[in-house]
């Protein structure tokens, strides 16, 4: 027997202490009446094994001796093969997380069988992670779709700058025909990742424009394919001519988002990062842009990958307990398992908290201002917006159509919608305004129902409050001498303000942020979607 094989054995002393070392013989197990004898130490899971004579600690998932029926064993039934011995299993599992293919009793034994399958899974995971947009960014699940790279053999072209006029306009080309197109339009293929001053040529040698050309050879590019960017003048006619010339040379117009789609399919981005690109472009505040940038850099993806690894490690413990039900050690109630479970719960809470803030920053809060005519709805809109966005007159029914205004409260995007006064009327124009106001109320995240403090809120109006996901009564015109006190318990939150003098407006702004669940100090928010 080889020295390495003898070193992996485990022996049991007179005090029933388990050791791993050169002198530890391995015994078989026979199921039956003798299984419960005092001298039989089979099926013991060693939580902590002392090291003696170069011995190694025994992993708690390993069996003491023997095997379960149906296990993936290649040796005699009553004997654990030496290459699956628990001394090797412990050192194998301690080297890193167990991949998703390792599960169950038979799989635990396969892990101990030299770690070949474990190394193969880790190598595949590392290969995926190497295709990162930035250093240290893992790629969860993109390995499964990275095989779709090259799924489309056509070359795409589109302007990379917004429509309109500007000093600079960029046309991006991606695909296998980039080098040929560069040779026709520029006369040569530019040096990789170096800005090259060139003339952009047409069919008959006509100069379409001149500017900078940037060439990114595959796979070191945004899409993972050959990419050529033409930086010219930002006029729409110039951009159209450059795109048309690329189409003549074999490219086709790109679909919306197709460059990001190819980056995702080629393993350059994961799905969270691809969505973060659109969120970063559409960011409505500095905080939302920062949240999108964190997701784009891979923070969200790394947190999900780490959580999945912790859940898989915990799953190994649970499945081992299921596969070994007759063991005399209740390791599922051990401190180690409880600590792992608490760590998983903490990571879940952190991700949920960060993504909820990201959803608020991305989607914002849609606030509809409604109430009876002449209650001060338009004045409240102007006070929140900080400008005269709505016409204010003492004539009831001045506002006929919905008026929208976009504001930002400490980084929280808020869309304010002022509506027509709610009342029964025979005027067809005002009736249409009331109908549109009711539609805005149904689509609101928060309804601010404005009440004239001088008129009060009677029982009929209180019973007929519009139905919305969240309703807050704004007790307006508190600066008037005839103002009545706010009702003590109307069943919904009440905020007392004076839109004319500004009294109570800071409290109303804080209420809007609380209603959205927004925390301005949340610097760790990630851009996420519902």
Q: Which tens digit of pLDDT belongs to each residue from 460-481?
A: 888 888 888 899 999 999 999 8
Which of 504, 509, 508, 500 minimizes the C-alpha distance to 480? 500
Does the domain made of 155-268 have the CATH classification 3.40.50.1980? Answer: no
Q: What CA–CA distance (Å, rounded) separates 322 from 104?
A: 8
pLDDT of residue 366: 92
Residue 523 predicted with pLDDT over 70: no
Residue 487's pLDDT band, with cuts at 50, 70 and 90, is: confident
pTM exceeds 0.75 for this model: no
Tens-place pLDDT, residues 361-390: 888 899 999 999 989 999 999 999 988 888
Domain range annotation of the chain: 155-268, 271-363, 364-516
Average pLDDT over residues 489-506: 90
Q: What are phi and psi of 342, to 5 degrees?
A: -65, -35
Q: Are 526 and 290 in contact (CB under 8 A)?
A: no
pLDDT of residue 332: 64
Which tokens hold the place of 508? Answer: 């109303």
Q: Are 377 and 371 in contact (CB under 8 A)?
A: yes
Residue 223 predicted with pLDDT over 80: yes
Helix, strand, or coil (residue 26): coil
Q: Are 472 and 438 in contact (CB under 8 A)?
A: no
pLDDT of residue 476: 94
333-337: long-range contacts, CB 8 A cutoff, minimum separation 24: 334/47, 334/60, 336/60
Tens-place pLDDT, residues 108-128: 444 444 444 444 444 444 433
Residue 80 predicted with pLDDT over 50: no
CATH topology of domain 364-516: Rossmann fold (3.40.50)
The answer to whether 155-268 and 364-516 have equal CATH topology is: no
pLDDT of residue 461: 83
Q: What CA–CA distance (Å, rounded) separates 427 from 232?
A: 57
Which range of 108-122, 311-325, 347-361 scores highest in mean pLDDT? It is: 347-361
Residue 491 contacts by C-beta under 8 Å, 6 or more apart in sequence? 462
**What is the overall mean pLDDT for the chain?**
75
Average pLDDT over residues 225-233: 96
Q: Are strands 412-418 and 403-409 parallel, antiparallel or unpaired?
A: antiparallel
Which tokens hold the place of 296? Answer: 């784009």
Average pLDDT over residues 68-91: 43
């Amino acid at each position: 027997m080889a020295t390495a094989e003898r070193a992996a054995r485990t022996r049991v002393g007179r005090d029933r202490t388990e050791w791993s070392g050169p002198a530890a013989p391995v015994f078989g197990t026979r199921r039956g009446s003798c299984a419960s004898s005092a001298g039989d130490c089979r099926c013991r899971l060693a939580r902590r094994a002392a090291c003696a004579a170069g011995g190694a600690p025994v992993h708690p998932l390993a069996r003491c001796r023997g095997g379960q029926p149906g296990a993936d064993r290649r040796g005699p039934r009553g004997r654990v093969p030496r290459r699956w011995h628990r001394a090797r299993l412990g050192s194998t599992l301690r080297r890193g997380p167990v991949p998703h293919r390792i599960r169950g009793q038979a799989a635990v034994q396969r892990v101990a069988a030299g770690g070949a399958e474990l190394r193969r899974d880790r190598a595949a995971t590392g290969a995926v992670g190497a295709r990162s947009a930035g250093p240290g960014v893992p790629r969860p699940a993109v390995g499964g779709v990275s095989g779709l790279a090259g799924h489309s053999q056509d070359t795409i072209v589109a302007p990379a700058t917004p429509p309109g006029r500007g000093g600079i306009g960029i046309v991006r080309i991606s695909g296998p025909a980039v080098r040929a197109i560069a040779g026709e339009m520029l006369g040569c293929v530019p040096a990789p990742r170096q800005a090259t001053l060139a003339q952009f040529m047409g069919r008959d040698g006509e100069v379409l424009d001149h500017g900078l050309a940037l060439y990114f050879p595959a796979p070191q590019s945004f899409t993972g394919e050959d990419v050529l960017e033409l930086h010219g003048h930002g006029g729409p006619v110039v951009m159209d001519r450059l795109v048309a010339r690329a189409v003549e040379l074999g490219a086709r117009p790109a679909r919306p988002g197709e460059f990001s789609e190819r980056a995702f399919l080629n393993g350059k981005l994961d799905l969270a990062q691809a969505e973060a690109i659109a969120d970063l472009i559409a960011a409505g505040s500095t905080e939302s842009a920062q949240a999108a940038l964190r997701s784009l850099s891979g923070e969200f993806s790394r947190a999900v990958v780490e959580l999945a690894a912790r859940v898989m490690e915990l799953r190994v413990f649970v499945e081992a307990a299921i596969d070994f039900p007759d063991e005399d050690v209740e390791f599922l109630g051990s401190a180690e398992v409880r600590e792992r479970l608490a760590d998983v719960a903490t990571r879940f809470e952190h991700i949920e908290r960060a993504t909820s803030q990201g959803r608020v920053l991305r989607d914002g809060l849609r606030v509809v201002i409604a109430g009876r005519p002449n209650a001060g709805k338009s004045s409240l809109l102007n006070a929140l917006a900080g400008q005269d966005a709505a016409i204010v007159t003492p004539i009831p029914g001045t506002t006929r159509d919905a008026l929208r205004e976009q504001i930002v409260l400490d980084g929280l995007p808020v869309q304010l919608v002022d509506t027509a006064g709610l009342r029964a009327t025979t005027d067809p124009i005002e009736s249409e305004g009331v109908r549109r106001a009711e539609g805005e109320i149904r689509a609101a995240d928060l309804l601010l129902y404005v009440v004239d403090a001088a008129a009060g809120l009677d029982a009929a109006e209180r019973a007929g409050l519009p139905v919305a996901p969240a309703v807050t009564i704004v007790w307006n015109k508190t600066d008037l001498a005839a103002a009545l006190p706010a009702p003590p318990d109307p069943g919904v939150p009440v905020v007392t303000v004076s839109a004319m003098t500004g009294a109570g407006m800071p409290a109303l702004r804080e209420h809007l942020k609380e209603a959205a669940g927004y925390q301005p100090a949340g610097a760790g928010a990630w851009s996420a979607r519902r």
